[in-house]
Amino acid sequence: MRFTKGAAIFVLLFYIFLWVLALHGVSSLIPVLVVPVVLAALVAFGVWLNRFMGVTPRRQHFTDPVEPVAAKDATQDIVEETGEDTGDRRASEDDHVRGATAPTHTTVEPDESGTLE
């Protein structure tokens, strides 16, 4: 906790130092230094508006799963659903009718002249 307070104080003092530099001639820092002030003002206005309207903040609920869910391999899911290994086979007209998608990779082999078709 002490380190957090010390770091916050250091950052605040550094921010004030940058404002001093900006006000004494380094005007290129002013747009960068205005951003945190504007964001803080917007957040403060939002909090004030919520309180003014009587909106109570919701309590956060964190639930940890009893057992971590193991990630399955996508191909294993397909094998379990269809009962067949899809492997590296090419899509046929039957697959298109059943809703399968064409493979995303293709192999092109050179013909006798050595050019790719």
Does residue 105 belong to any structural domain of this protein? no
Per-residue pLDDT of 43-78, as tens digits, reads 999 999 999 998 887 787 777 666 555 555 555 555
pLDDT at 43: 96
* Of 82, 89, 84, 83, nearest in space to 103 by CA: 89
Does residue 84 belong to any structural domain of this protein? no
Does residue 67 belong to any structural domain of this protein? no
Mean pLDDT on 103-117: 67
Does residue 80 belong to any structural domain of this protein? no
Structure tokens belonging to residue 35: 């951003």
Can you tell me the distance from the alpha carbon of 81 to that of 98, in angstroms, rounded to the nearest whole number?
14
